[in-house]
């Protein structure tokens, strides 16, 4: 399973400061690619996760929908160790996504994709289930050397315990005060192969213990 590894810092600012940051990026000499889209994420969690009893090092799983010119669906696994974030994503079809939402995950058990197989085991053994859906109006500035900023406006949670990733009708509850923007700074890092292998082996060992319960 291949991971993107990075460090992340977050801060909430007002619109005026956000626009100053964006202006400085636009006027800078470095090449930057801009992307603007709506991101909708459905968090899966075990009972311990829903009760806030999980550590940061425990992997979190999401079904994600990017709404732009065209839609894109993917599964995301993410966790943190020693201040470093590890993230792995794999695209899925709408049919596969709806199967997961309906609790039909048996097809993932023997899939060639290791992330799909892990999701299956987490679903069946650790009982991760759909928890909540969060939406973000997001704008991203990506630098060519692996640093990028995300500007999250109008973060909102679908109310009433709705866990349908495709829901467009139910009430959204704002998670940010009016006029505020959450800015995330992410810097990609490269982990030496020997350390990456050690972390990978430790993760596999931890997964095998989880499967045994």
- pLDDT in 10s for each residue of the chain, 213 residues: 788 899 999 999 999 999 999 998 888 877 888 999 999 999 999 999 888 888 777 899 999 999 987 799 999 999 998 899 999 999 999 999 999 999 999 999 999 999 999 999 999 999 999 999 999 999 999 886 778 899 999 999 999 989 999 999 999 999 999 999 999 999 998 876 656 565 555 454 333 323 222
The pLDDT of residue 193 is: 64
54 burial via Cβ count (<10 Å: 0-12, 13-18, 19+): middle
The pLDDT of residue 52 is: 85
The secondary structure of residue 63, as a DSSP letter, is E
The pLDDT of residue 199 is: 58
Domains of the chain: 4-212 (3.20.100.30)
The pLDDT of residue 196 is: 59
The pLDDT of residue 82 is: 87
Helix (H, G, I), strand (E, B) or coil at 16: helix
**Rounded to whole angstroms, what are the CA distances from 87 to 2, 69, 76, 131?**
8, 25, 7, 20
**Rounded to whole angstroms, what are the CA distances from 188 to 78, 84, 143, 176?**
15, 10, 11, 27
pTM listed for this prediction: 0.86
For 6, half-sphere exposure in the C-beta direction (CA atoms, 13 angstrom radius) is 16
The pLDDT of residue 198 is: 59
**Rounded to whole angstroms, what are the CA distances from 72 to 92, 123, 183?**
8, 23, 23
Q: DSSP of 147-207, one letter per residue?
A: EEEEEEEEEEEESTT---TT--SS-EEE-S-TTEEEEEEEEE----HHHHHHHHHHHHHHH
């Amino acid at each position: 399973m291949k991971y993107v590894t990075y460090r992340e810092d977050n801060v909430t600012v007002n619109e005026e400061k956000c626009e100053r940051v964006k202006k400085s990026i636009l006027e800078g000499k470095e090449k930057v690619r801009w992307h603007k889209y709506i991101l909708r994420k459905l968090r899966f969690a075990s009972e311990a996760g829903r009760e806030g009893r999980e550590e940061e090092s425990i992997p979190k799983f999401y079904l994600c929908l990017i709404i732009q010119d065209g839609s894109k669906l993917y599964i995301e696994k993410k966790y943190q160790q020693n201040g470093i974030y590890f993230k792995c994503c794999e695209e899925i079809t709408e049919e596969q996504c709806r199967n997961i939402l309906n609790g039909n995950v048996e097809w993932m058990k023997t899939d060639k994709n290791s992330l799909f197989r892990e999701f299956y085991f987490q679903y069946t053994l650790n009982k991760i289930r759909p928890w909540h859906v969060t939406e973000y109006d997001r704008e991203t500035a990506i630098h060519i050397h692996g640093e990028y900023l995300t500007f999250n406006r109008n973060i909102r949670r679908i109310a009433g315990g709705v866990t349908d990733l495709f829901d467009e009708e139910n009430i959204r509850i704002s998670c940010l005060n009016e006029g505020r923007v959450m800015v995330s700074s992410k810097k990609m890092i490269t982990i030496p192969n020997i350390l990456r292998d050690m972390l990978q082996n430790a993760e596999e060992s931890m997964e095998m213990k989880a499967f045994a319960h």
